[in-house]
């Protein structure tokens, strides 16, 4: 993973530069006290829909790991060994590499890639729990850097939080939204994205069924004042860009509800010194793709849909194949014109995707159509949903 090594090098460079700056100030060097130079290049950020580690998903990964998949993510479910580096190998138990292969080019090319992972309940002893370390390694191998883990289900049953975070730590992935200790909950995750430091914060709506014996800090509940305070704290900690991953909204709806749009308006209106406290909102939990749009000059993705999950049982308890539809958002940030200025999103795109339950493959919809797959209706539904918030008028496009 050359890109990941490059990011580590950038992070190390930043640390060394900061140390050198401190030494210069202590020595009274001529550069001491000077303002940091303005960045000369921007960065790209991609963010995918939720990954629901359901038993059926793990079973497919087990099928691939034992030499039954094709290993190339093409979606036909036939072939030889189904391997993909850290995602697994024949006989190792679970291999999620082929499942994620179609999204790897977009994810690995980005300067920063964010995913969303539901914690696996602590009392789960089935394939979802057993495969969690392999899933985390596959996400890292695909190119993801950090996962949002705040989820309403985790508020109800937080017992799986330590297991999930341990798996992410083992794969070298950062995470936000849940914590094993109060000290961990109080940290601000800062990620290097090219020359910028990005804070990734994650919160979930409270269904009113929080586990009575669970400390409040275990799962970050979605509270307007708490979110704004967290964003401001991240800025003070050095974040150039503040990104929120929010678990909100009604399930199985292709448009956000009034409560969500109202909250988006209040969050994006929050400013400090004339600068928005939040630079990007990434929403999820609707299971279906929803609109992208600008609110108070800030991009909001109301719903990405589920990238990978069981997703075939809709709100009425009947099969709903729309649950396999999702988008991966891609935003290109330009550096500020002056030190301390705002990093502006200059390009906004979405990549239509479909998780095929039969083959256990995430498909790049446009690429699959070009190869003859009958996914035109899927593409059109995703496109209509993503553009439904007026995003096209403010520059949103569907990636080819």
Which of 277, 257, 260 has the alpha carbon at shortest distance from 268? 277
- The token pair at 296 is 């108070």
Does residue 339 form part of some domain? yes
Q: How far apart are CA 231 and CA 244, in angstroms?
A: 8
What pLDDT score does 83 carry? 35
Does residue 1 form part of some domain? no
Q: How far apart are CA 151 and CA 119, in angstroms?
A: 8
How many degrees, rounded to 5, is the angle at CA 193 between CA 189 and CA 195?
115
Does residue 254 form part of some domain? yes
Does residue 4 form part of some domain? no
Q: Which residue has the tokens 């914590």?
A: 179
DSSP letter (8 states) at residue 42: -
CB 119: neighbour CB atoms within 10 A? Answer: 28
What pLDDT score does 316 carry? 57
Task: Print the domain residue range for 204.
Answer: 35-398
pTM over 0.75: yes
Q: At what angle do helices 258-269 and 224-236 cross, to 10 degrees?
A: 30
Does residue 30 form part of some domain? no
Mapping DSSP onto H, E and C, the string for 309-361 reads: CCCCECCCCCECHHHHEEEEEEEEEECCCCCCCCCEEEEEEEEEEEEECCCCE
φ/ψ region of 14 (left if φ > 0, alpha if ψ in -120 to 50, else beta) reads alpha
What pLDDT score does 378 carry? 96
Does residue 6 form part of some domain? no
Does residue 7 form part of some domain? no
Does residue 270 form part of some domain? yes
Q: Which residue has the tokens 């083959």?
A: 359
Q: Which residue has the tokens 């292969």?
A: 101
Percentage helix, strand, coil for the chain under 3-state DSSP, each rounded to 5: 35, 25, 40
Give how many domains the chain has, as a whole number: 1
| CATH value at residue 234 | 3.60.21.10
What pLDDT score does 311 carry? 64
First-to-last alpha carbon distance for the chain, in angstroms, is 24
114, 282 in Cβ contact below 8 A? Answer: yes
The burial of 149, by beta-carbon neighbours within 10 Å (0-12 exposed, 13-18 middle, 19 or more buried), is given as: buried
Print pLDDT tens along the chain (400 aa).
444 434 443 443 333 334 333 333 333 333 434 455 677 899 999 999 999 888 999 999 999 998 765 443 333 333 333 333 344 443 469 999 999 999 999 999 999 999 999 999 888 889 999 999 999 999 999 999 999 999 999 998 999 999 999 999 999 999 999 999 999 999 988 999 999 999 999 999 988 777 767 899 999 999 999 999 999 999 999 999 999 999 999 888 889 999 999 999 999 999 999 999 999 999 987 789 999 999 999 999 999 999 998 766 655 556 677 889 999 999 999 999 998 899 999 999 999 999 998 899 999 999 999 999 999 999 999 999 999 988 899 999 999 9
Q: How far apart are CA 394 and CA 293, in angstroms?
A: 8
Over its C-alpha atoms, the chain yields an Rg (Å, rounded) of 21
Q: How far apart are CA 275 and CA 270, in angstroms?
A: 8
């Amino acid at each position: 993973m050359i890109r990941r090594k490059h990011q580590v090098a950038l992070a190390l460079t930043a640390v060394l530069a900061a140390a050198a700056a401190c030494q210069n100030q202590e020595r009274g060097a001529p550069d001491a006290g000077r303002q940091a130079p303005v960045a000369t290049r921007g960065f790209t950020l991609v963010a995918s829909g939720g990954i629901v580690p359901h038993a059926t998903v793990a079973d497919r990964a087990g099928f691939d790991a034992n030499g039954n998949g094709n290993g190339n993510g093409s979606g036909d479910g036939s072939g030889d060994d189904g391997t993909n580096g850290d995602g697994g190998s024949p006989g190792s138990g679970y291999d999620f590499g082929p499942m994620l292969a179609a999204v790897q080019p977009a994810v690995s090319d980005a300067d920063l890639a964010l995913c969303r992972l539901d914690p696996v309940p602590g009392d789960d002893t089935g394939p979802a729990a057993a495969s969690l370390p392999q899933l985390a390694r596959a996400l890292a191998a695909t190119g993801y850097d950090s996962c949002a883990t705040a989820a309403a289900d985790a508020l109800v049953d937080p017992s799986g939080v330590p297991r999930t975070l341990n798996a992410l730590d083992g794969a070298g992935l950062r995470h936000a939204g849940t914590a094993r200790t109060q000290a961990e909950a109080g940290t601000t995750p800062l990620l290097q994205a090219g020359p910028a430091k990005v804070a990734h914060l994650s919160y979930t709506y409270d269904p009113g069924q929080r586990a009575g014996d669970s400390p409040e800090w275990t799962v970050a509940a979605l509270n307007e004042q708490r979110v704004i305070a967290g964003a401001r704290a991240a800025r003070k900690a050095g974040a150039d860009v503040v990104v929120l991953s929010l678990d909100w909204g009604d399930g199985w709806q292709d448009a956000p509800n009034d409560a969500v749009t109202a909250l988006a308006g209040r969050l994006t209106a929050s400013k400090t010194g004339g600068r928005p406290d939040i630079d990007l909102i990434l929403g999820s939990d609707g299971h279906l793709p929803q609109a992208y749009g600008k609110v108070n000059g800030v991009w909001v993705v109301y719903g990405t849909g589920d990238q990978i999950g069981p997703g075939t049982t809709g709100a009425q308890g009947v099969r709903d194949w729309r649950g396999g539809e999702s988008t991966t958002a891609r935003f290109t940030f330009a550096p500020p014109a002056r030190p301390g200025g705002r990093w502006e999103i200059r390009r906004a795109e979405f990549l239509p995707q479909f998780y095929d339950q039969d083959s256990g493959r995430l498909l790049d919809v446009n690429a699959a159509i070009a190869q003859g797959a009958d996914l035109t209706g899927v593409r059109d539904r995703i496109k209509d949903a993503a553009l439904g918030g007026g995003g096209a008028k403010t520059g949103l496009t569907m990636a080819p």
